[in-house]
């Protein structure tokens, strides 16, 4: 599903960016250009990044 229509960035790309080490909206934006045009996708992108970070943290704490 597209999160950012202006830059054609999908939820999968955002999740992959976080899983590959991005830990903030700024880092994901630098990698994918998400949110760099009209900006309407920024709240949804931020929420997706937070959710993915939360899921990663849960996986790490379960594995520890």
Point out which residues bind ligand FES (CB under 6 A): 4-7, 35-41
Specify the residue, 16 or 44, whose C-beta has the smaller distance to ligand FES. Answer: 44
Residue 48, C-beta contacts closer than 8 angstroms, at least 6 positions apart: 3, 11, 14, 15
- C-alpha pair distances (Å), 31 with each of 58, 59, 61: 24, 24, 27
**Beta carbon of residue 54, minimum distance to ligand FES (angstroms, whole number):** 22
Specify the residue, 16 or 33, whose C-beta has the smaller distance to ligand FES. Answer: 33
**Six token digits for residue 40:** 């309407």
**Beta carbon of residue 53, minimum distance to ligand FES (angstroms, whole number):** 20
């Amino acid at each position: 599903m597209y999160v950012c229509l202006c830059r054609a960035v999908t939820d999968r790309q955002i999740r992959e960016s976080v899983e590959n080490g991005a830990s903030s909206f700024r880092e994901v934006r630098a990698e994918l250009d998400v949110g760099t045009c009209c900006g309407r996708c920024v709240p949804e992108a931020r929420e997706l990044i937070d959710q993915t970070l939360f899921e990663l943290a849960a996986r790490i704490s379960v594995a520890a």
